[in-house]
């Protein structure tokens, strides 16, 4: 005897199975749509987070660089490989910042100096003090080889004049100036000082060739002995010794020892006129 044939499903059961299959297909389609929507939302969010992180790193790096420059240190130079690796991050950061709608300065713009600005402490070769340049180029002023013994021109008694104040003739020239007038070395040499009843307080300047200049009737000395240069103040005018009033009696005595000579030709021969 043949086995029993499988019972066929009824129409009601077939309709029920079809409805269950349709519901399952709809549930699967809804799940697939949900996953697709989530992926569409999540992927841009991840990308945006990556861009924001790159922008933050770039901005922080620029802030660190500015602080390093302000502290006076030099940052390490990026290699070509490092610069190439950082390029995408910089581009992403700039694009993210540009998305805000406001113009942003690039790193190159931030480093560009202002027109006419000069870094602090930098030396400009063209900004040297003109007065210093002129002073450096100008030759130093030379001291005169021969100077007048007093600043004021004009003579009183001249050499060889006769009078009751001298045993014979006047042995020098007189400069009628006030007491206390500075007396100067007529040329380079060495000086010594002494007292004489006729000349009073006197300074003797000995020149390199042995010639002596005598300064007489002084009030006081500024330099008693030592080496001097032409124009140095060595004493002050007075009226000591055989004198009738403040004046400077000046003599020139050659090294030959022949006695005093007229100082006027000696001055004129040196290019100086005391008159």
pLDDT per 10-residue tile (average), the chain, 275 residues: 59 82 81 71 53 52 57 45 51 54 44 43 45 48 81 90 75 95 97 95 96 97 96 96 94 92 94 91
Predicted confidence at residue 155, as pLDDT, reads 92
Angle at 119 (CA atoms; ends 111, 83), nearest 5 degrees? 30
Return the pLDDT at 260. Answer: 94
The CATH number of 173-269 is which of 1.10.443.10, 3.40.228.10, 1.10.150.120, 2.70.70.10? 2.70.70.10
Q: Is 15 helix (H, G, I), strand (E, B) or coil?
A: helix
Whole-angstrom Cα distance, residue 25 to residue 31?
10
Per-domain residue ranges for the chain? 13-73+84-101, 173-269
Eight-state DSSP code of residue 168: S
152 closest CA partner among 200, 196, 184: 184
pTM beyond 0.85, yes or no? no
pLDDT of residue 88: 56
The answer to whether the beta carbons of residues 23 and 15 sit under 8 Å apart is no
- Predicted confidence at residue 160, as pLDDT, reads 85
Report the alpha-carbon distance of residue 116 to residue 191 in Å, rounded: 61
Determine the angle formed by the axes of helices 11-70 and 80-98, rounding to 10 degrees: 110
Instruction: Collapse the DSSP code of 25 into the 3-class scheme (helix H, G, I; strand E, B; otherwise coil) and give the result.
Output: helix
């Amino acid at each position: 005897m043949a086995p029993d044939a499988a019972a066929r499903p009824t129409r009601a059961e077939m309709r029920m199975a079809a409805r269950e299959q349709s519901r399952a297909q709809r549930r699967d389609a809804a799940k697939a749509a949900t996953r697709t929507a989530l992926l569409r939302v999540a992927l841009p969010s991840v990308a945006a987070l990556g861009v924001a992180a790159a922008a933050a790193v770039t901005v922080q790096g620029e802030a660190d660089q500015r602080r390093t420059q302000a502290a006076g240190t030099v940052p390490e130079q990026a290699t070509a490989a490092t610069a190439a690796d950082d390029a995408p991050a910089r581009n992403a950061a700039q694009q993210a910042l540009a998305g805000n709608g406001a113009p942003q300065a690039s790193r190159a713009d931030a480093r560009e100096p202002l027109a006419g600005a000069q870094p602090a402490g930098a030396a400009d070769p063209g900004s040297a003090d003109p007065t210093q340049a002129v002073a450096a180029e100008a030759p130093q002023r030379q001291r005169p080889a021969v100077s007048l013994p007093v600043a004021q021109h004009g003579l009183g008694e001249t050499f060889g004049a006769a009078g009751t104040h001298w045993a014979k003739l006047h042995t020098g020239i007189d400069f009628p100036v006030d007491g206390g007038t500075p007396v100067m070395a007529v040329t380079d040499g060495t000086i010594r000082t002494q007292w004489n009843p006729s000349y009073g307080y006197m300074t003797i300047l000995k020149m390199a060739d042995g010639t002596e200049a005598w300064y007489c009737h002084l009030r006081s000395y500024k330099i008693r002995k030592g080496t001097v240069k032409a124009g140095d103040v060595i004493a002050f005018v007075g009226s000591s010794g055989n004198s009738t009033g403040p004046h400077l009696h000046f003599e020139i005595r050659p090294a030959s020892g022949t006695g005093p000579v007229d100082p006027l030709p000696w001055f004129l021969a040196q290019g100086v006129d005391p008159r």
